């Protein structure tokens, strides 16, 4: 199946007007998460990208380390990769969908999973932003400041 054909079938099945993929890109909202769909002819895949947000400057390393741990075997991301957009510096989840094995139903399920994971990582980032802001105010204790740095070990994300 080709990108435009899959996007057209998806739009028709779920009643999404204006979703065409004519330019090799499409954008939609899944559970209030904006998802960009990009055609990659080189890999014969669709890449779905959902932005998580920006880390506080002092926490970039801590969140980056947590992201790398989550990327290990893609278990804490349900098949997506955590990354940083080189243009905006925002963190994002990116998930490939090989066109050879993706149909409308599997795309829908994968996008729902991506939206759920995006919300989880947004919560983690918000907690990290809150902890870093509290540190700057001098109000956070060491344990409060570290509470969101080890989300993987805490069970927040299932590895």
53-105 pLDDT, tens digit per residue, is 987 776 667 777 888 888 888 878 888 999 988 998 899 999 999 999 999 99
Kindly list the distances between the CA atom of residue 148 and the CA atoms of 87, 114, 115, in Å, as whole numbers in the listed order. 26, 21, 21
Q: Does the structure show a pLDDT above 60 at 159?
A: no
Distance of CA 7 to the CA centre of its chain: 20
Percent of the chain at pLDDT > 90 equals 50
pLDDT at 126: 83
What whole-number distance in Å separates Cα of residue 70 and Cα of residue 91? Answer: 13
Q: How far apart are CA 62 and CA 71, in angstroms?
A: 14
For the cut 90, the answer to whether the pLDDT of residue 131 exceeds it is no
pLDDT of residue 66: 82
What is the rounded (10 degree) CA torsion for 8, 10, 12, 15?
-130
pLDDT at 30: 93
Task: Delimit the domains of the chain by residue range.
Answer: 3-154
First to last CA, the chain: 32
Q: What is the pLDDT of residue 97?
A: 97
pLDDT, residue 133, reads 65
- Give the model's pLDDT for residue 25: 95
HSE toward the beta carbon, residue 40, CA cutoff 13 A: 16
What is the pLDDT confidence band of residue 116, given thresholds at 50, 70 and 90? very high
CATH 3.40.50.2300, applies to 3-154: no
Per-residue pLDDT, 146: 44
Q: Which of the residue ranges 16-20, 65-69, 154-158 would you say has the lowest mean pLDDT?
A: 154-158
């Amino acid at each position: 199946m080709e990108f435009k054909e899959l996007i057209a079938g998806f739009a028709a099945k779920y009643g999404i007007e204006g979703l065409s993929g004519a330019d090799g890109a499409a954008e939609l909202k899944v559970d209030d998460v904006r998802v960009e769909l990009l055609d990659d002819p080189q890999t014969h895949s669709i890449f779905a990208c959902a932005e998580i947000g920006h880390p506080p400057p002092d926490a970039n390393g801590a969140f980056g380390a947590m992201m790398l741990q989550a990327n290990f075997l893609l278990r804490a991301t349900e098949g997506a990769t955590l990354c940083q957009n080189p243009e905006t510096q925002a963190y994002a989840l990116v998930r490939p969908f090989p066109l050879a094995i993706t149909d409308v139903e599997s795309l829908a399920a994968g996008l729902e999973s991506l939206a759920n994971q995006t919300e989880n990582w947004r919560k983690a980032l918000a907690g990290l932003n809150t902890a870093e802001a509290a540190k700057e105010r001098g109000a956070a204790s060491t344990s409060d400041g570290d509470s969101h740095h080890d989300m993987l070990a805490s069970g927040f994300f299932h590895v």
